[in-house]
């Protein structure tokens, strides 16, 4: 394992102090991509995950994936825009920094976005949104980009599926209102080795619960757990 130091942990974040949208400029041994939830300001509460991860690595950085996490014009258009931006951002960084280890960390709608990026997405959204999301193909974990992703962390995803190997916390046995299924689930499960899907039992988004506090508490409670998972992934 690398020396545990924060000397250069936020080389990207520090150089872009005037902008919370922090886009990657330099190559680092570990780079964390953050995908925020609905209406969160950049970088979102999941910044605590990036800080916990980078606390372990001398050469580590993070950046926010920029996308319209809103309901305008529709929830589905926002998701598709996020998937396309995430794909382009990760691919560009991977091409520019071929020796970097990549981590994805996403909350709520962001979790749905990167789940669709990895496993493929699209279809009719249930409930109040009632929109149809454009389809996108899954990312092959054996692809050049896929092999560089060492950890994928999602929290409170609206497409959470019960009883999957990658599930974490008591909500692992509960379903969301639009659980992933069929080929999209099969494709996402190809990422089980690096995927960690956090879901609290009371979380309305991922488990059909009734406590929105449960939906927003992941980062206070599980940042250290996420950092440990990344550490094991990189050192195994």
In a domain, 6, yes or no: no
In a domain, 142, yes or no: yes
Give the total number of structural domains in the chain.
1
Closest Cα partner for 151 from 111, 196, 115? 196
The DSSP code for 110 is: H
Tens-digit pLDDT profile for residues 32-72: 999 999 989 999 988 999 999 999 998 999 999 999 988 88
Mean pLDDT score, 71-79: 88
CATH label of the domain that carries residue 191 = 3.40.50.1820
In a domain, 3, yes or no: no
- 50 contacts 153 by C-beta, under 8 angstroms: no
Between 156 and 70, where is the model more confident? Answer: 156
In a domain, 1, yes or no: no
In a domain, 206, yes or no: yes
Bridging pattern class, strands 30-35 and 60-64: parallel
- 88 contacts 60 by C-beta, under 8 angstroms: no
Mean pLDDT score, 15-36: 70
Question: In 10 A of CB 197, how many CB atoms?
Answer: 26
pLDDT winner (highest mean) among 39-43, 185-189, 232-236:
185-189
Give the least confident one: 58-62, 139-143, 198-202, 232-236: 232-236
Tens-digit pLDDT profile for residues 81-115: 999 999 999 999 999 999 999 999 999 999 999 99
Range of 217's domain? 11-235
In a domain, 4, yes or no: no
CA distances in angstroms from 191 to 7, 66, 72, 149, 188, listed in the order given: 32, 24, 31, 10, 6
Between 52 and 14, where is the model more confident? Answer: 52
Q: How confident is the model at residue 23 (pLDDT cuts 50, 70, 90)?
A: low
In a domain, 2, yes or no: no
- The structure's pTM equals 0.87
């Amino acid at each position: 394992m690398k020396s545990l130091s924060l000397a250069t942990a936020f080389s990207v974040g520090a150089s872009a102090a005037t902008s919370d949208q922090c886009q990657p400029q330099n190559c680092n041994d570990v780079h964390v991509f953050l995908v925020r939830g609905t209406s969160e300001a950049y970088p979102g509460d999941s910044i605590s995950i990036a800080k916990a991860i980078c606390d372990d690595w001398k050469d580590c950085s993070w950046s926010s994936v920029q996308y319209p996490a809103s309901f305008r014009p529709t929830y589905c258009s926002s998701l598709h825009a996020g998937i396309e931006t995430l794909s382009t951002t990760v691919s560009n960084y991977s091409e520019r920094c071929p020796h970097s280890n990549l981590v994805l960390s996403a909350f709520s709608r962001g979790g749905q976005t990167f789940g669709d990026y990895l496993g493929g997405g699209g279809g009719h959204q249930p409930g109040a949104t009632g929109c149809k999301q454009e389809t996108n193909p899954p990312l092959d974990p054996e692809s050049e980009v896929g092999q560089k992703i060492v950890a994928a962390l999602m929290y409170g995803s609206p497409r959470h599926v019960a009883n999957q190997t990658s599930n974490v916390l008591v909500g692992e046995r509960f379903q969301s209102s639009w659980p992933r299924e069929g080929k999209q689930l099969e494709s996402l499960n190809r990422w089980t080795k690096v995927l960690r899907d956090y879901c609290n039992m009371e979380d309305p988004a991922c488990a059909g619960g009734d406590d929105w506090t449960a939906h927003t508490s992941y980062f206070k409670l599980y940042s250290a757990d996420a950092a440990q998972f990344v550490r094991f992934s990189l050192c195994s």
